[in-house]
Amino acid sequence: MRIIDFFDRGAALAPDRAFLVDDEESRTYAQTRELSQGIAAALLAQGLGDETNVAVYSPNAARAFECIIGLARAGAAWVPVNARNSIDDNCYILNNTEAEVLFYHSSFTENVAVMREQCPSLGTFVCIDRADGEAPALADWIAGHSAPKEPQDIATDWPDRPDRLAMIIGSGGTTGAPKGVMLSSLNLETMIATMNLCMPSPEPPVHLVVAPMTHAAGVMALTLMGLSASNVILKEFDALTVMQAIEEHRVSHLFLPPTAIYVMLGHPRVREFDYSSLKYFIYAAAPMSVDKLKQAIEVFGPIMTQTFGQAEAPMICTYFSPAEHTEALTGNHIGRLASCGRPTLLTPTEIMDDEGNILGPGQPGEIVVRGNMVMLGYYRNAEETAKVSEFGWHHTGDIGQKDEDGYVYIVDRLKDMIISGGFNVYPSEVERVIWSHEAVQDCAVVGVPDEKWGEAVKAVIELKPGAQVAGDEIIALCKEKLGSVKSPKSVDFIEALPRSPVGKVLKRDIRQRYWQGQDRQVG
26 and 166 fall within a common domain: yes
139 and 10 fall within a common domain: yes
40 and 149 fall within a common domain: yes
**Contact 58/159 with Cβ under 8 angstroms?**
no
Mean pLDDT of 304-318: 94
Hey, how many other C-beta atoms are within 10 angstroms of the C-beta on 514? 18
Q: Give residue 80's pLDDT.
A: 94
Q: Does a structural domain hold residue 444?
A: yes
Q: What CATH number is associated with residue 355?
A: 3.40.50.12780
Domain end residue (candidates: 360, 382, 413): 413
Q: Does a structural domain hold residue 215?
A: no
What's the gap between Cα 103 and its chain centre? 21
Mean pLDDT of 60-75: 95
86 and 147 fall within a common domain: yes
Beta strand extents in 284-322 (DSSP E only): 304-310, 313-320
Q: Does a structural domain hold residue 165?
A: yes
Tens digits of per-residue pLDDT, 440-472? 999 999 999 887 777 899 999 999 999 999 999
Q: Does a structural domain hold residue 261?
A: yes
Q: What residues contact residue 188 under an 8 Å CB cut-off, 6+ apart? A: 3, 166, 167, 222, 314
Flag whether pLDDT at 521 surpasses 50: no
Tens digits of per-residue pLDDT, 395-448? 998 889 999 999 999 887 777 878 787 677 888 889 989 999 999 999 999 999
pLDDT band at 277 (very low <50, low <70, confident <90, very high): very high
Q: Does a structural domain hold residue 212?
A: no
358 and 269 fall within a common domain: yes
Q: Give residue 148's pLDDT.
A: 53
Cα 493 to Cα 487: distance, rounded to the nearest angstrom? 16
Instruction: Return the higher-pLDDT residue of 339 and 51.
Output: 339
**Contact 488/446 with Cβ under 8 angstroms?**
no
Cα 215 to Cα 232: distance, rounded to the nearest angstrom? 16
Q: Model pTM?
A: 0.83
- The sheet with strand 230-233 has its strands ordered as 26-28, 18-21, 230-233, 206-209, 253-256, 280-283, 304-310, 313-320, 342-343
58 and 17 fall within a common domain: yes
Tens digits of per-residue pLDDT, 174-198? 445 678 999 999 999 999 999 999 9
Cα 420 to Cα 431: distance, rounded to the nearest angstrom? 16
Number of domains in the chain: 3
Instruction: Return the higher-pLDDT residue of 521 and 196.
Output: 196
391 and 346 fall within a common domain: yes
**Contact 182/375 with Cβ under 8 angstroms?**
yes
421 and 383 fall within a common domain: no
Tens digits of per-residue pLDDT, 356-408? 999 999 999 999 999 999 999 999 999 999 999 999 999 998 889 999 999 99
Q: What is the mean pLDDT of the chain?
A: 90
Q: Does a structural domain hold residue 214?
A: no
Mean pLDDT of 163-172: 88
Mean pLDDT of 123-144: 95
183 and 270 fall within a common domain: no
Domain end residue (candidates: 392, 413, 434): 413
Q: Give residue 259's pLDDT.
A: 80
pLDDT band at 161 (very low <50, low <70, confident <90, very high): confident
Tell me the three-class secondary structure of 355-366, residue by residue.
CCCECCCCCCEE
Which range, 46-50, 84-88, 324-328, is most confident? 324-328
**Contact 343/406 with Cβ under 8 angstroms?**
yes
User: Phi and psi of 303, rounded to 5°?
Assistant: -130, 5
Instruction: Return the higher-pLDDT residue of 213 and 14.
Output: 14
Q: What percent of the chain has pLDDT over 70?
A: 94
Decide the pairing of beta strands 365-369 and 394-402: antiparallel
With b for 16 or more beta-carbon neighbours within 10 A and e for fewer, the 406-430 pattern comes to ebbbbbbbebbbbebeeeebbbbbb
Q: What residues contact residue 328 under an 8 Å CB cut-off, 6+ apart? A: 334, 335, 336, 337
27 and 132 fall within a common domain: yes
318 and 442 fall within a common domain: no
Q: Give residue 175's pLDDT.
A: 43
Domain of 464? 417-515
DSSP letter string, 211-240: S-TTTHHHHHHHHHGGGT-EEEE-SS--HH
Flag whether pLDDT at 286 surpasses 80: no
Single-letter code of the amino acid located at 169: I
Tell me the three-class secondary structure of 150-218, residue by residue.
CHHHCCCCCCCCCCCEEEEEECCCCCCCCCEEEEEHHHHHHHHHHHHHHCCCCCCCEEEECCCCCCHHH
Mean pLDDT of 215-239: 93
Domain end residue (candidates: 190, 217, 251): 190
Q: Does a structural domain hold residue 211?
A: no
Q: Give residue 157's pLDDT.
A: 64
Cα 384 to Cα 380: distance, rounded to the nearest angstrom? 9
Tell me if residue 314 falls in helix, strand or coil.
strand
Q: Give residue 151's pLDDT.
A: 52
**Contact 344/316 with Cβ under 8 angstroms?**
yes
Cα 129 to Cα 118: distance, rounded to the nearest angstrom? 23
Q: Does a structural domain hold residue 210?
A: no
Single-letter code of the amino acid located at 196: N
Tens digits of per-residue pLDDT, 9-64? 999 999 999 999 999 899 999 999 999 999 999 999 999 988 899 999 999 999 99
Distances (CA, A) of 110 to 92, 114, 117: 17, 7, 12
473 and 344 fall within a common domain: no
Q: To 10 degrees, the CA torsion angle through 126, 208, 200, 265?
A: 140
Mean pLDDT of 350-357: 96
